Amino acid sequence: MHPYIVFAITAYYNVKTTTLTNVRINMGRSMDLTADAIKKVARRHFALKGYEATSLDAIAKEIGIKKQSLYTHIQSKSELFSTVFKESVDGELAFVSQYFANLAEDASLQDQLYRFIAQYKTRYSRELNLRLILYLGFLVPEQQGDEIQKTVMQYFQFTQDKILSALKISSLKLRVSHEKFAIAFMNLLEGMLVELIYSGPDSFDLRLEASWDVFWHGVSRE
């Protein structure tokens, strides 16, 4: 065979192979982008409407695909919810971990713990991860009840452990043990979160200030 013919055939197959590879890469990227879009939209729907009121039809329509196309990426509404809920909890665990990792040694732990509760007011309005966890954590849908309750309890236990660790390296003078302080703090936090869910943010600051004063005078010798 003439060398030029061999060269032409080789070049043709190289181009074809490269083209097919690029097509596969682009298809993979497109699939990833669509999957991310589905989770992003689903997170907002679940967080704002709850599980029962969230529709796969509405999610597909907002993304701009047919409902049938959703099943290329998910098995069911329940499976989509589980994925989104787990990712939301992971995101909030990362936030809690970072908050306590960045506690300032030269600042009052009392003030920093107060701010930890206070920041939930703005984050509840802005962060869908948090809104999803709290909304469904206190208004648990029947189908995912056990899964949600277990995950939410892990989230609160993780937070309590971080508070306990912060107390153990602090110089706070307390009337109670570190363990009792952490439990009482979590009771206050969970009560304020219920306030957010059922009453909204308008009265949050006033109720937190009043509750914090009672809490602090009960646990502190300072």
CA-closest candidate to residue 155, choices 81, 101, 100, 92: 92
Taking only the tens place, the pLDDT of each residue in 99-119 is 999 998 778 999 999 999 999
In this structure, are 150 and 104 located in the same domain? yes
Q: CB of 175 within 8 A of CB of 219?
A: yes
pTM for this model (two decimals): 0.79
In this structure, are 186 and 103 located in the same domain? yes
In this structure, are 85 and 149 located in the same domain? yes
In this structure, are 36 and 7 located in the same domain? yes
Q: DSSP labels for the chain?
A: --HHHHHHHHHHHHHHHHHHHHHHHHHHHHHHHHHHHHHHHHHHHHHHH-TTT--HHHHHHHHTS-HHHHTTT-S-HHHHHHHHHHHHHHHHHHHHHHHHHT--TTS-HHHHHHHHHHHHHHHHHH-HHHHHHHHHHHS--STTHHHHHHHHHHHHHHHHHHHHHHHHTS---BSS-HHHHHHHHHHHHHHHHHHHHHH-STTHHHHHHHHHHHHHHHHB--
Size of the chain, expressed as the number of residues it contains: 222
Last residue of a domain, one of 20, 40, 74: 74
In this structure, are 17 and 43 located in the same domain? yes
Kindly report the average pLDDT of the chain as a whole number.
84
| pLDDT bracket for residue 20 (50, 70, 90) | very low
pLDDT for 27 beyond 50: no
The pLDDT value given to residue 199: 86
Taking only the tens place, the pLDDT of each residue in 115-157 is 999 999 999 989 999 999 887 776 666 666 677 888 889 999 9
CA-closest candidate to residue 204, choices 124, 89, 105, 92: 124
In this structure, are 204 and 104 located in the same domain? yes
The structural domain count of the chain equals 2
The pLDDT value given to residue 70: 87
| pLDDT bracket for residue 1 (50, 70, 90) | low
C-alpha angle 134/139/141, rounded to 5°?
Answer: 115
In this structure, are 107 and 214 located in the same domain? yes
Domain span holding position 106: 77-222
